[in-house]
Amino acid sequence: MSIEAKNISKTFGSFTALNDVSIQFPSGKLVALLGPSGSGKTTLLRIIAGLEVADKGSVYFEGEHATERSAKDRRVGFVFQHYALFRHMSVFENVAFGLNVKPRETRPSKEEIHERVMKLLKLVQLDWLADRRPSQLSGGQRQRVALARALAVEPKVLLLDEPFGALDAKVRKELRRWLRRLHDEIHVTSIFVTHDVDEALEVADEIVVMNAGRIEQIGTPDRVYEHPANSFVYHFLGNVNLFHTRIHDGQAHFANQTFDVQADSGAALVHARPHDIELSREETGGGWMRACIRYVHAIGPLVRIELIQADNQQIIEAELSRERYAEQRFATGEMVSVRPRQVKVFPAGPAAGDYSI
């Protein structure tokens, strides 16, 4: 089922959680709402679920106006960050809850409920734990029960609020891959909220980047990562090296290259990822800058090198593969030439770079 939110605004006291947000979620996709905390992503999810009421704007399910519909009647599945399992019920009873509370006319028979619950528990690979209490399960298991419980009522949409946020890194990774496989199996329109960039890039069909109650960019993970719409998105998706330049007649010049910028004049910021920074002992001129190696951090798969630009004392961070580093053996204190292989240029607005992790 497709979902559309139109001109949604929501404030909590003096805090603006959502500021005139409009977005369409296509049917059958797994979409990530990605953003820092306080960006309004959870609020948007809760408004879609009907757990929160928007101050302004409307929600459409499959083109049908659903703003007035209560959470009870929206037929959405909702998975909470802290699982929210019914602590006094067994795993089986938890999953069966949504079926048991149906009005008598539409409630499946006891045998049907049993069959459906066990099928779902098999789907989340927890059928052997049906009689346990939630408190006897690990975090990852609890979240899978929560997912099975949400799926039991055959929702048209699955909404997940930071579903893996409370889990440790390893379980988190396993579970998000598992969620991707599950989604490929059942194809229910799913929206999940996350502040974890890797999670969004790895799992989602589409990413919605949010900041301060607004949508910054919508696109496939590839598109968002390779072509960030603005400085915020660039910053949020990874580490950044910034170089300053100026705009003349809609163009900015940097490292012997010319870039079109959406501004006529003023300052511009050149963004480059650390892994796009090239280091060389021989090259000079032609876009190469001189820099002094201040620090080499050679732990893990990547070697991180911190440099200080010779002319303006700015810090540059570079990342090299182990092989490349082994060939060159750069040492602390050495003067080298530096060049960004690939850059993005954005006008230096007030929003640029004001987000820090």
Partner 1 sequence: MAGTISHFHKPPERKQISVGEPRAVRWLLIAIALLFLGLVLVVPLVAVFTEALRKGWVAYGQALIEPDALSAIRLTLIAASIAVPLNLIFGLSASWAITKFQFRGKNLLLTLIDLPFAVSPVISGLIYVLMFGMQGWLGPWLQEHDIKIVFAVPGIVLATLFVTFPFVARELIPLMQAQGSDEEESAIVLGASGWQTFRKVTLPNIKWGLLYGIILCNARAMGEFGAVSVVSGHIRGLTNTMPLHVEILYNEYNFVAAFAVASLLALLALLTLVLKNIVEWQTNRNLHSEPLIEPPENRP
Q: Which residues bind partner 1 (CB under 8 A)?
A: 49-51, 70-78, 80, 82, 84-88, 97-98, 101-102, 125, 133, 135-141, 144, 146, 149-150, 152-153, 171, 174, 178
Return the closest-CA partner of residue 143 out of 192, 213, 75, 208. Answer: 192
Shortest separation between residue 287's beta carbon and partner 1, angstroms: 50
Q: Which is nearer to partner 1, 82 or 244 (CB)?
A: 82
Distance in Å, CB of 84 to partner 1, minimum: 4
Rank residues 87 and 341 by Cβ distance to partner 1 and give the closer one: 87
Q: How far is the CB of 125 from partner 1 (least distance, A)?
A: 4
Q: How many CB atoms lie within 10 A of CB 138?
A: 11
* Phi (first) and psi of residue 60, to 5 degrees: -120, 135
CB 336 within 8 A of CB 280: yes
The Cα–Cα gap between 103 and 99 comes to: 9
Distance CA 235, CA 166 (A): 24
Six token digits for residue 267: 């300052």
Run of H or E residues at 220: none
Compute the least distance from the CB of residue 132 to partner 1, in Å.
Answer: 10
> Residue 334 and residue 314: Cα distance in Å, rounded?
16
* Of residues 100 and 256, the one with the C-beta less far from partner 1: 100
CB nearer to partner 1: pick between 10 and 273: 10
For partner 1, which is the closer residue by CB, 85 or 261?
85
Question: 32: part of which helix (H) or strand (E)?
Answer: strand 30-34
Least distance in angstroms from the C-beta of 80 to partner 1: 5
